[in-house]
Amino acid sequence: MHDKILGASLPTVMALAYLGDARHSLYVRRRLVERGIAKSGELNEAAKGYVTCEAQAEMFRAIEPLLLEDELDTFRRAANSSHLNRPKRAQASDYRIATGFEAVVGMLEWIGDVERLDFLLERAHRAIEEKN
């Protein structure tokens, strides 16, 4: 359990997923720019490999064994939320997993555990990159 979460008031899991989506997108964009990709079209195309429901579901599966109990609890609550509006192109299971992944990212961002967040995102991204 994160010490920073004790006594902290967390937003709803859907708000955490919203925050996590933004934080993960920023992480992806920074990594792509650091690789030296300079053209916006190339950046957008490369980003798709990380921000789709399918990619995020795969990233979650890679880091799931590393998650702490409060992270898993946040994931479960977000993935099982009845407020999900699945995009037409995504499978429901991938969308639920991706929402849970984003909620975990959002929770870590909210409580300010940058070290843990960077560790998990690096591991998640490494899994995608090793596959491709």
Catalytic residues: 21
* Number of independent structural domains in the chain: 1
Domain assignment present for residue 4? The answer is no
Query: pTM of the full predicted structure?
Result: 0.90
Please report whether residue 6 resides in a domain.
no
50: enclosing H helix or E strand: helix 40-51
92-115 b/e (C-beta count within 10 Å ≥ 16 → b) = eebbbbbbbbbbbbbbbbbbebee
Take residue 19 and report the two structure tokens written for it: 């925050």
Instruction: State how far Cα 131 lies from the chain centre.
Output: 18
Q: What is the pLDDT of residue 89?
A: 77
Residue 4 has pLDDT above 70, yes or no: no
The pLDDT, as a whole number, for residue 58 is 95
Q: Which of 9, 12, 91 is nearest to 56 (CA)?
A: 91
Q: Please check whether residue 5 lies inside any domain of the structure.
A: no
Phi-psi region of 36 (alpha: psi -120 to 50; beta: other; left: phi over 0): left
**In-domain check, residue 110:** yes
At 81, is the pLDDT very low, low, confident or very high (cuts 50, 70, 90)?
A: confident
